[in-house]
Amino acid sequence: MRHEIRSVAGVTDPPVRVWTHLAGVYDKAGKKIQLFVNGRPQGSPVALPDTVLPVPTNGGLQVGRASNSSGGFGEYLAGLVDEVQVWQRALAEGELREEAQLFDADHAAATALLAQWDASGASGTSIADTSGYRRPAMALAPGAAIDVEGEVLILDGRTGSATATGPVIDETGSFTVTAKVQLNAAELANKPVGYIAQVVGQRTAGESSWAIWYRHDRADDGTPAGNWFFGRAGVDASGTVKQVTSVPSASSAELDTFVQLTGVYDAEQDRLHFFVNQEDQSPAAESSFAFDQQGTGELSIGRGMSGGVWGRYLPGEVGEVRVWAGAMNGRQVESQVLGIPSAVGDDQ
């Protein structure tokens, strides 16, 4: 009799059209199997009963399909597969976390551009994705318009936003998001202290699972003195948001000036990093979520959801938003985000 022993992922209904790193481990000595998703073990190892022996095979390695008992094939995969590797030993958890990062030749985490909405060249009521992954276009709401000459998206801070169907990344793995943004000082002068203006974020249920935002404040002399933030939300077993971990900018945000904001989630280290232009804002924040958060709703520019209500409208301009799988380091932010050539031998 044929037995199928399975190690099952802890998260049901995984997101589609996103890259996810999967690994299966068979420990011959312990007679156990375990599934890893983005380097993280799923539950406890599953023991094979003493009466069950692994089925020896002598056929070819199959990718995207499975052999069946009748000698044919089935269970065909609809999707993309890359970076297939096989080891003749059981890898440890630490090794699988590192393997999930997919390092490049300089031992920096490899990245893949998954979405790019750039206002340059856009017109009308939408901004197309030019990443090659054919993501939905960002649809403009009233209060948002494309400035063709300035090649930017203008947002009025009251109703303006641009929205596409998300998610574009598996948030249990590493990712990087960047946005080029300029705050409108005149419009911010009408906002109360504590006002939050969201640059870009991914919705889940009634909140944002990750976002880049600005929190308005004023100095003693009444001048604006707010900060930029990059953060993620953590949930409990029921999916209720219980915490938000964020990294603030080290100094007040400049107004009426374009700045490049880049948020990084490093799944291997379970940390957030935040870059304002090429400057890494420290310290990095440990996320330490009890349960992985995964966005399921809209990905929006210029607005955010709080308590199930849309708001947090951004007064200003946005030139672009790009999203990668993989956690960039400072050198990669300079070269891939800002286009600054790396010095010879510079691997920091």
pLDDT at 106 over 70: no
CB 172 within 8 A of CB 40: yes
Q: How many Å apart are CA 57 and CA 144, to the nearest integer? A: 59
pTM beyond 0.75: yes
Provide the pLDDT confidence category of residue 57 given band limits of 50, 70 and 90: confident
CA dihedral 183, 189, 195, 201 (to 10 degrees): -20
Q: What single-letter DSSP state applies at residue 337?
A: I
Instruction: Give the 3-state secondary structure of residue 274.
Output: strand
| Residue 71, token pair as written in the block | 């000698």
pLDDT at 306 over 60: yes
78 vs 183, residue with greater confidence: 183
Residues 6+ apart with CB under 8 A from 12: none
The pLDDT of residue 209 is 92
Q: What percent of the chain has pLDDT over 70?
A: 92
| Residue 39, token pair as written in the block | 């380097």
CA dihedral 8, 10, 15, 21 (to 10 degrees): -70
Alpha-helix residue ranges (DSSP H) falling in the chain: 93-101, 185-188, 330-332
| Residue 284, token pair as written in the block | 């990095």
* pLDDT digit string, tens, across residues 240-261: 677 789 999 999 999 999 999 9
DSSP string, 36-84: EETTEE-SSPEEPPTT--PPP--SPPPSS-EE-TTSSEE----S-----
Provide the pLDDT confidence category of residue 164 given band limits of 50, 70 and 90: very high
Most trustworthy range by pLDDT among 77-86, 159-168, 284-293: 159-168
CB 143 within 8 A of CB 162: no
Q: How many Å apart are CA 188 and CA 314, to the nearest integer? A: 9
Sequence ranges of the domains in the chain: 22-101, 112-337
The pLDDT of residue 192 is 94
CB 224 within 8 A of CB 214: no
Provide the pLDDT confidence category of residue 342 given band limits of 50, 70 and 90: low
Residue 232 bridge partners (DSSP): 210, 245
pLDDT at 54 over 90: no
Q: How many Å apart are CA 153 and CA 140, to the nearest integer? A: 9
pLDDT at 344 over 80: no
Q: How many Å apart are CA 97 and CA 268, to the nearest integer? A: 6
Mean pLDDT, the chain, rounded, equals 88
The pLDDT of residue 103 is 66
Residues 6+ apart with CB under 8 A from 127: 117, 118, 119, 137, 138, 140, 146, 153, 162
Which of 8-17, 277-286, 332-341 is predicted least confidently? 8-17
Which of 41-45, 159-163, 184-188, 241-245 is predicted least confidently? 241-245
The CB density around residue 243, as the number of other CB atoms within 10 Å, is 14
CB 314 within 8 A of CB 198: yes
Question: Which sign, positive or negative, has the C-alpha torsion 207, 210, 213, 219?
Answer: positive
CATH topology assigned to domain 112-337: Jelly Rolls (2.60.120)
- At 144, the amino acid letter reads A
194 vs 9, residue with greater confidence: 194
